[in-house]
Amino acid sequence: MPDTPEQLVCATCGRTAPADGEALVAWARGVEHRREVWTCDVCSREYLRSIEGKLDSGWW
Ligand SMILES: [Zn+2]
């Protein structure tokens, strides 16, 4: 693994956040294809709403 700086990139909208610890609390971490993926607070909210609305996961 390359020693890259910890810059978070939202896998959904491409928003970036500095890994200063504050953003990390609001961001959701997931694992996809054995890779770490992050979702920003905004997208997490949208995502949750979609789950509650029982949208087809293929929509993503
Ligand atoms: Zn996002």
Residue 2 belongs to some domain of the structure: no
Domains in the chain, number:
1
pTM for the full model? 0.61
Residue 1 belongs to some domain of the structure: no
Residue 17 belongs to some domain of the structure: yes
Residue 41 belongs to some domain of the structure: yes
pLDDT for res 8: 83
Query: Ligand 1 centre from 34 Cα, in Å?
Result: 20
Domain that holds residue 18: 7-59
C-beta separation of 42 from 48 below 8 A:
no
**Helix, strand or coil, per DSSP, at residue 8:** strand
pLDDT for res 55: 59
Query: Ligand 1 centre from 7 Cα, in Å?
Result: 14
Q: Tens of pLDDT along the chain (60 residues)?
A: 555 556 788 999 999 887 666 667 788 888 988 988 889 989 988 888 887 777 565 655
Query: Ligand 1 centre from 39 Cα, in Å?
Result: 5
pLDDT for res 34: 92
pLDDT for res 19: 65
Report every protein residue that has its C-beta within 5 angstroms of ion ligand 1: 10, 12-13, 15, 40, 43
Residue entry with tokens 């949750």: 48
